[in-house]
Amino acid sequence: MPKVAYSEEEKEQIRKDLIETGLELMSKQGIQHTTVEQIYKKVGISRTFFYTFFPTKEDLVVETLYLQQPKIISYAKKLMADPNLSWKDAVRQFFYSCCYGEKNGIAVLTIEEQQLIFKRLSKESYNLFRERQVRLFGSILECFGIKADKAKINLFTNLSLTVMVIRRAIPETLPLFVPEAAEETVNFQINAIVDCFEKLKE
């Protein structure tokens, strides 16, 4: 029989479990292919109870992205501290890991997912996401030894998301792109970004 009442502490733990489980599934099988049902069943609660924590799947997705931000920063620091990697190799590996997130436990939004999520976010939630996004990409730049002023953060954010999104979008979302050259395209973009930001190192 399902439990009738939960303490506040238990509810907080369940919320945490939902976010962690969501991130685990989304990073492995993609956000589009992860269902609410998969998440609440793995946590061991009902569908109705799930929606008392998150009104929509998109609300949960945003929380999973927040959860993985410090993990991404820690990963960047780890790469930069690796004595066996040059600066360029470390930054390249960081980008490859993000672009092929499903192989590395990193959830990356597709174009469709971005559109869907931000249509449903309130203005306040959108502004909060933007603030956290700026902090994330600024912190990554700092890990790379680059002074993170507003202009550099904005450019770095757009360039980073572009290569990740294009990699996920060929060929389904961008059917006029050539799928046989997808990997080569990603490699070219990553190398161009690395070369650009190497010049900005302190």
Q: Give the domain CATH number at 141.
A: 1.10.357.10
Q: How many domains does the chain have?
A: 1
Please give the mean pLDDT across all residues of the chain: 94
Rounded to two decimals, the pTM is 0.90
pLDDT at 129 over 80: yes
Q: Is residue 128 part of a domain?
A: yes
Q: Is residue 3 part of a domain?
A: no
Nearest to 82 by CA among 91, 69, 95, 72: 91
Report the C-alpha gap between 66 and 62 in whole angstroms. Answer: 6
Q: What is the pLDDT of residues 193-202, one digit of tens each?
A: 999 999 998 6
pLDDT at 1 over 80: no
Q: What is the pLDDT of residues 70-109, one digit of tens each?
A: 999 999 999 999 999 999 999 999 999 999 988 888 999 9
According to DSSP, the residues that pair with 146 across neighbouring strands are 201
Measure CA 144 to chain center: 18
Residue at token pair 């953060």: 153
- Predicted confidence at residue 19, as pLDDT, reads 97
Q: Find the domain containing 88 and state its range.
A: 8-198
Q: Is residue 2 part of a domain?
A: no
Q: Is residue 1 part of a domain?
A: no
